[in-house]
Amino acid sequence: MSDRLYTTNQLAKLFGVVPTTVIDWIEAGKLRAFKTLGGHRRITHSSVLQFLDECNLDSPPAFSSEEHKILVLDDEPGVLKLFGSLLEAGIPNAKIITVDHAVDALVIIGAERPEIVVFDIFMPDVDGFEFCKRLREAQGKAVKMIAISGESSSETVTRIKAAGADKFLAKTEANEKLAKLCLSFL
């Protein structure tokens, strides 16, 4: 699993405590956290697991049952359905969210917080290059991005990686490699 980040409020909700309790754990040195440039505390998933182990605590049900979330963005309904099916079959414990427009995807990403975003590069209105750039600026490295396209020239791959994509996958390889690539990020 990638080392997901939690806010103090998110952990408080998952553990069924008030946010000040999580802050107390951090200040007492029981739970490792770091501060963002804005002064907000963030806690890694591995830090929470270490805290549970060191304090000899069971994982709360809401924490341990958290599912992986993957958002898929493509403007072609058939491709969107195919990619969604491939991921549901290849990663059964994941929630697959499909979206057909980049602006809608950005809103849903803010609400759902997927670990991975799979997106087509060549779409109308907001193309994948602009989408990737906006998402990377908004989310930093908190989300993994996999760009997919039927056009796989070295220029396209270089350009999408420069925009912030973690990986590129040609659409012709999606049947065999999409789920495996996503699993490598979880």
Domain extent, residue 128, equals: 68-183
Q: Which residue, chain included where needed, has tokens 């979206």?
A: 99
Cβ burial of 58 (10 Å; 0-12, 13-18, 19+) is exposed
**pTM, to two decimals:** 0.67
**How many folded domains does the chain comprise?**
2
Are 86 and 47 in a shared domain?
A: no
Q: Would you state the pLDDT for residue 53?
A: 83
Across the chain, mean pLDDT equals 90
Lowest mean pLDDT among 9-18, 110-119, 127-136, 166-175: 9-18
Do both 26 and 55 map to the same domain? Answer: yes
Q: Between vectors from CA 137 to CA 136 and to CA 141, what angle results, nearest 5°?
A: 45
Q: What is the CATH number of the domain that holds 125?
A: 3.40.50.2300
**Which tens digit of pLDDT belongs to each residue from 146-159?**
999 999 999 999 99
Mean pLDDT (whole number) for 63-88: 88
